[in-house]
């Protein structure tokens, strides 16, 4: 979810593990995937102590898309570590319920009362379209696993009228055909959490739900309306066939599998906040887009990295004889 933290790398003096880990040059869209796994790039950093501790950069995409490209040394480090830390503990029901309630409008409020009428109607229309398309978007494989379109739609969007506009905006972004097709397979960070649990490792989280949720709720009304409007405009053009959204998740996966750290850091993780900075925006709207972008970078990236860095450092100092595996997001939003 968050970018790989330069702050962490600097304060803890980490070195990338594995000779090939910086092979991808910044900005290269195509790297040749190396068939030899030992030569693959990794997002693993080792903290030299006894036993060693590790940082591993995860990514918020279905784990099956990246698992085979993760080198053995990273998987081995995970298996060897007795304690695994994540940003948030996604297997803890409390985390999920806290995230859900943080995304809700205050009691008694409803999107219809909050949104400008035009936006509300377009949102409603778009969600009706998604609901209609969902059965066609799902794959036979998903149906084979007993995943039903109605169930999936309700799980993602069921209570949309009660969500805060910023969370509805993120939800709309994740309701595209490509994203729907990848539902049902855990994302890499969740998969690692499930594995840690299955292997009975001690697990923990360095962030609180509120710390990840409140910054988004802190965008002001005109910023959120702008973001929601842009998101809807994009989806509407997509529906009309006049726009092909550059599918950034595919790019992200490719760069991740190539170990192209700088591109992963710089790219936007499409499961998160969309990029509104668009060359064709009129000047005033471009300023708004830039203000939103820098607010989110400051709150969701820089401040978070500092918090995480301090907590990791404290943990390592408190338990000098434990082997930690820290699995944090490698991609920025």
Which residues of the shown chain bind ligand NAG in the complex (CB under 6 A)?
116, 118-119, 220-223, 225, 229, 233-234, 237, 243, 278, 280-281, 285, 291
Of 112, 119, 216, residue with least CA distance to 166: 216
Identify any residues that bridge with 57 across adjacent strands, giving them in sequence order: 328
Report in angstroms how near the CB of residue 231 gets to ligand NAG at its nearest.
Answer: 9
- Cα first-last separation, the chain: 7
Smaller CB separation from ligand NAG, 116 or 135: 116
Smaller CB separation from ligand NAG, 289 or 308: 289
Residue 285 makes CB contacts below 8 A (sequence gap 6+) with 226
Smaller CB separation from ligand NAG, 219 or 312: 219
Report in angstroms how near the CB of residue 185 gets to ligand NAG at its nearest.
Answer: 27
Residue 97: both structure tokens together: 């319920």
Distance CA 232, CA 216 (A): 18
Query: What is the β-pairing status of strands 15-16 and 44-47?
Result: antiparallel
Smaller CB separation from ligand NAG, 73 or 217: 217
Smaller CB separation from ligand NAG, 281 or 315: 281
Smaller CB separation from ligand NAG, 158 or 218: 218
Give the rounded distance of the alpha carbon of 87 from its chain centre. 11
Contact in structure between 189 and 60 (CB atoms under 8 Å): yes
Report in angstroms how near the CB of residue 251 gets to ligand NAG at its nearest.
Answer: 14
Enclosing H/E stretch for 86: strand 83-86
Report in angstroms how near the CB of residue 151 gets to ligand NAG at its nearest.
Answer: 31
Residue 252: both structure tokens together: 């992200």
Distance CA 46, CA 92 (A): 27
Report in angstroms how near the CB of residue 223 gets to ligand NAG at its nearest.
Answer: 5
DSSP string, 186-230: -BHHHHHHHHHHHTT-EEEESS-HHHHHHHHHTS-HHHHHHHHHH
Smaller CB separation from ligand NAG, 172 or 308: 172
Smaller CB separation from ligand NAG, 199 or 287: 287
Report in angstroms how near the CB of residue 284 gets to ligand NAG at its nearest.
Answer: 9
Enclosing H/E stretch for 175: none
Report in angstroms how near the CB of residue 235 gets to ligand NAG at its nearest.
Answer: 10
Report in angstroms how near the CB of residue 243 gets to ligand NAG at its nearest.
Answer: 5
Strand order in the sheet with 53-58: 15-16, 44-47, 53-58, 324-329, 83-86, 202-205
């Amino acid at each position: 979810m968050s970018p790989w933290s330069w702050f962490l790398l600097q304060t803890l003096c980490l070195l990338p593990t594995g000779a090939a880990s910086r092979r991808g040059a910044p900005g290269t869209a195509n790297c040749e995937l190396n068939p030899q796994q030992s030569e693959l790039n990794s997002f693993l950093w080792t903290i030299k102590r006894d036993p060693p501790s590790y940082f591993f950069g995860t990514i918020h995409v279905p784990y099956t898309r990246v698992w085979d490209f993760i080198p053995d040394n990273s998987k081995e480090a995970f298996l060897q570590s007795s304690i695994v830390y994540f940003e948030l503990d996604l297997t803890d029901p409390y985390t999920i319920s806290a995230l859900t309630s943080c995304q809700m409008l205050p009691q008694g409020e409803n999107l219809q009362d909050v949104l400008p009428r035009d936006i509300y109607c377009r949102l409603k229309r778009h969600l009706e379209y998604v609901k209609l398309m969902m059965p066609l978007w799902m794959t036979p494989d998903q149906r084979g696993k007993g995943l039903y379109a109605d169930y999936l739609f309700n799980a993602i969007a069921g209570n949309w009228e009660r969500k805060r506009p910023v969370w509805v905006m993120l939800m709309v972004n994740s309701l595209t055909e490509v994203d729907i097709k990848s539902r049902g397979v855990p994302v890499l960070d969740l998969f690692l959490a499930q594995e840690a649990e299955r292997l009975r490792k001690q697990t923990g989280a360095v962030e609180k739900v509120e710390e990840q949720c409140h910054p988004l709720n802190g965008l002001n009304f005109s910023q959120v309306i702008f973001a929601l409007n842009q998101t809807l405009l994009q989806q509407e053009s997509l529906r009309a066939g006049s726009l092909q959204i550059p599918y950034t998740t595919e790019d992200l996966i490719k760069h991740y599998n190539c170990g192209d750290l700088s591109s992963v850091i710089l790219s936007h993780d499409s499961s998160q906040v969309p990029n509104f900075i668009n060359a064709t925006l009129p000047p005033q709207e471009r300023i708004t887009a830039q203000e939103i972008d820098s607010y989110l970078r400051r709150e969701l990236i820089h401040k978070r990295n500092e918090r995480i860095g301090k907590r990791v450092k404290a943990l390592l100092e408190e338990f000098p004889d434990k082997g930690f595996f820290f699995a944090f997001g490698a991609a920025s939003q």
